[in-house]
Amino acid sequence: MQSTESSFENLRKDFPILTRTVRDNKPLVYLDNASTTQKPNQVIDAITDYYQNHNANIHRAVYALAEESTEAYENARDKIANFVNIKNRQELIFVRGTTEAINLVAYAWGRPHINEGDIIVTTEYEHHSNIVPWQLLTQEKHAKLEYIGMDDNGELILDDLDKYLATGKVKLVTFSLMSNVLGTITDAKKIIEKCKAAGVPTLVDGAQAVPHMKVDLDTLGCDFFAFSGHKMLAPTGVGILWVRKSVLQTMSPFHGGGDMIREVHKYETTWNDLPYKFEAGTPNIADVIGFGAAIDYLTKIGMDNVRQHEIELTKYAMEKFSKIPGLQVYGTKDISKRGGVISFNFADVHPHDVADIIDKEGISLRSGHHCAQVLMERLNVAATSRASFYIYNTKDDIDALIDSLNKVAKVFKL
């Protein structure tokens, strides 16, 4: 597919929700993609087709339907592995989403590996899902949680990491590949290099990065990687945890139950092969298949084209924003270092009021702390407004946002 504006404009017909109107018959302008994305017909149809034609539990029965559903489920695993270049499909575990993936690591890897006095390092711009599981673990183990700080440009201060690594007590470094608030793209290569040199494993939260740019887990070099389907056209309730096999083999199970066992006796059980040891119970079969359809859709567009499209939109929006008096954008102005996420504040107007007023113009914009209160404290704000783009957004959407911000200025007499 050509990376031209018109071909992206053409994608919009695949997303039925984009044709609806909201409030007083205003066309929907959806700019909350960092939270969740809309779904194309191809994904919706795949789920419908599964329930209408193939529904049966997987990995259990020998009849035709069960064979079809198992094949479709495992096909999706291969598609996703291929998409982020995972060489060994045994390392790819289906979970509910990034939050569950990180909690799985904190529980099944963290509990046996973290001891009193150990240090886990995270960053100031993490989502709560990459902070709270580590708070729970370090409190339980009397270990310590430390933060890599952020500079005024919205970039991590890697000297902080050096300082913690020098203590020799760091057992895990965990960070997001792209900030969900500032859009900052983390210099993962450098962090992983430093950690590898110190013999420290790394966890990367890819929830914001994988939907928007090419990610190659074979070369990235981390040990744990998590992302969610629903932020990349797939249904809610399905996500991925990838763990390097040598690490995965040292982990105890997360949930006990069906499908994760080899043999169960009254007082002992042996575990199933990887990755099934970590997939207890009937999984979210239909949505995993939907995730596979989303991967097909994105593969057809090409992730380099997705990234290029979002760079265009971000550049356009940043230029327009810079012309609005009183509008402050957070994070770096260097487009090459940020994804299609723009957080801002508009004069003294509370983001909640901004979102409410522009909602009446049909614009879905997020306001609040974006599950990143540690970052809000660092920025010294209670909340921000956030616009985040995806493949179906256009410059017209940004123009509509700018127009609606003029309404905010009018109401608040800015």
Partner 1 sequence: MSSGADIYHEMIVDYSRNPVNFGEIEDHDVTFHDANPLCGDSIDIDMKIDDQKVSDIKFHGKGCAICMACTSVLTEIAKGKSLDEIKNIDKSDVLSELGLEHLQAVRIKCALLSLKVLKGALYTYLGSHLENTDAIDKLKAEAENLY
Q: How many residues bind partner 1 (CB under 8 A)?
A: 21
Q: Which of residues 378-397 bind partner 1 (CB under 8 A)?
A: 382-383
- SS3 (DSSP) at 190: helix
Q: Note whether 346 and 354 are within 8 A (CB).
A: yes
Contact flag: residue 411 with partner 1 (CB under 8 A): yes
Q: Which of 49, 78, 259, 356 contacts partner 1 by CB under 8 A?
A: 356
Query: Which CB sits closer to partner 1, 79 or 407?
Result: 407
Nearer to partner 1, 355 or 391 (CB): 355
Catalytic residue check, 371:
yes
- Measured in degrees and rounded to the nearest 5, phi and psi for residue 180 equal -75, -10
Stretch that binds partner 1, among 59-67, 177-185, 354-362, 395-403 (CB under 8 A): 354-362
Amino acid identity of residue 242, one-letter, is: W
Q: What is the CA radius of gyration of the chain?
A: 22
Half-sphere exposure of 61 (CA within 13 A, CB side): 12
| Interaction of residue 129 with partner 1, rule CB under 8 A | no
Q: Which residues, 294 to 353, sit near partner 1 by CB under 8 A? A: 348-353
Distances 381 to 152, 328, 372 between C-alpha atoms, Å? 13, 12, 11
**Which is nearer to partner 1, 4 or 406 (by Cβ)?**
406
Residues in the chain: 414
What is the greatest pairwise CA distance in the chain?
Answer: 73
Q: Is residue 251 within 8 Å of 243, Cβ to Cβ?
A: yes
Closest distance to partner 1 from the beta carbon of 103 (Å)? 20
Q: How many other C-beta atoms are found inside a 10 Å radius of the C-beta of residue 227?
A: 26
Q: Which of 44, 56, 247, 371 is catalytic?
A: 371
61/411 with CB nearer partner 1: 411
Closest CB to partner 1 among residues 157, 382? 382
Report if residue 368 touches partner 1, rule: CB under 8 A.
yes
Q: Which of residues 14-33 bind partner 1 (CB under 8 A)?
A: 23-24
Q: How many helices (H) and strands (E) does the chain have?
A: 15, 17
Report the catalytic residues.
371
Using CB under 8 A as the criterion, which residues of the chain lie in contact with partner 1 when the complex forms? Answer: 23-24, 348-353, 356-357, 360, 367-369, 376, 382-383, 407, 411-413
